[in-house]
């Protein structure tokens, strides 16, 4: 799997290798968090990283990666110790430049396919079920979510997101709320095979952007991202991470 991923990234970058080699500038310093499958410190890859790396390579830029909590990553960018930070979900700030969305995170309500009693079409429906999600979800999903889970017969937030997949599989909870990509990553990694229902329409997708302290670099990233989409290479990455 790792070999195939590297071959895939190599394919995406091969078309621009000559441009990168001709650049005299130092690699761009990218700061991000460790959160597979979006960003992985262990493999130095991930869906977000591979998209950003390929988009910047299209503009002739290589990158170096540094992993840290997102709040520290943002502070590092503000202090001029980094050139790019991702992912970013907040409002623009003076002196910083936000890219076009490079990915839409997919908050998803997961239920066991055999649990026919679970019917969730709006956030308020969560009030009827035992719910588990990631730490900080109350602040991330907003007041409607908070109002619903406060009425839930059992609600928990856990730090280890991989354990959410186990909790649903063993029916300790009826509903898990988690990003689609993250859930699928741990579902495969832990070799689960229980039948799933994924309800993506309940919570709107969340656009993820990269943030820069240089307008020209931001513009170069956006152009590179557009090129990836035009050539179909962007879709190739999405399909790969859906299957692996």
Domain ranges of the chain: 2-104+207-243, 107-199
CA atoms within 13 A on the CB side of 120: 31
What secondary structure letter does DSSP report for 216?
Answer: H
Q: Is 231 left (phi over 0), alpha (psi -120 to 50) or beta?
A: alpha
Strands 107-112 and 175-179 come out as antiparallel
Superfamily of domain 107-199: Periplasmic binding protein-like II (3.40.190.10)
Q: pTM for the whole thing? A: 0.79
Residue 229 bridge partners (DSSP)? none
- Between CA 207 and CA 218, with CA 213 as vertex, the angle to 5 degrees is 55
Q: Is 206 left (phi over 0), alpha (psi -120 to 50) or beta?
A: beta
CATH architecture of 2-104+207-243: 3-Layer(aba) Sandwich (3.40)
Element housing 74 (H / E)? helix 70-78
Q: Which of 222, 217, 195, 238 is nearest to 84 (CA)?
A: 217
How would you write the pLDDT of the chain (244 residues) with one tens digit per residue? Answer: 454 455 455 545 554 453 444 345 789 999 999 889 999 999 999 999 999 999 999 999 999 999 998 889 999 999 999 999 999 988 888 899 999 999 999 999 999 999 999 999 999 999 999 999 998 888 788 899 999 999 999 999 998 889 999 999 999 999 999 999 999 999 999 999 999 999 988 998 889 999 999 999 999 999 999 999 999 999 999 999 887 7
Q: Do domains 2-104+207-243 and 107-199 have the same CATH topology?
A: yes
Q: How many angstroms separate the CA atoms of 41 and 53, rounded?
A: 14
């Amino acid at each position: 799997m790792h070999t195939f991923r590297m071959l895939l990234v190599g394919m995406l970058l091969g078309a621009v290798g000559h441009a990168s080699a001709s650049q005299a500038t130092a690699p761009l310093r990218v700061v991000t968090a460790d959160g597979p499958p979006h960003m992985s410190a262990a493999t130095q890859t991930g869906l977000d990283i591979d998209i950003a790396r390929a988009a910047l390579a299209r503009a002739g830029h290589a990158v170096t990666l540094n992993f840290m909590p997102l709040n520290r990553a943002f502070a590092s960018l503000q202090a001029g110790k980094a050139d790019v930070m991702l992912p970013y979900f907040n409002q623009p700030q003076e002196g910083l430049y936000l890219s076009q969305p490079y990915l839409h995170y997919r908050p998803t309500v997961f239920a066991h396919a055999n649990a026919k009693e679970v019917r969730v079409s709006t956030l308020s429906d969560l009030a009827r079920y035992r719910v588990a999600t990631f730490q900080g979800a109350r602040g991330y999903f907003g007041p409607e979510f908070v109002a619903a889970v406060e009425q839930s017969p059992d609600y928990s937030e856990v730090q280890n997101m991989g354990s959410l997949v186990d909790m649903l599989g063993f029916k300790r909870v009826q509903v898990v709320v988690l990003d689609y990509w993250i859930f699928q990553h741990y579902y495969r990694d832990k070799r689960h095979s229980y039948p799933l229902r994924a309800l993506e329409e309940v919570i709107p997708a969340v656009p993820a952007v990269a943030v820069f302290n240089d307008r020209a670099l931001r513009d170069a990233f956006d152009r590179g991202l557009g090129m990836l989409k035009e050539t179909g290479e962007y879709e190739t990455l999405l399909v790969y991470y859906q299957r692996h």
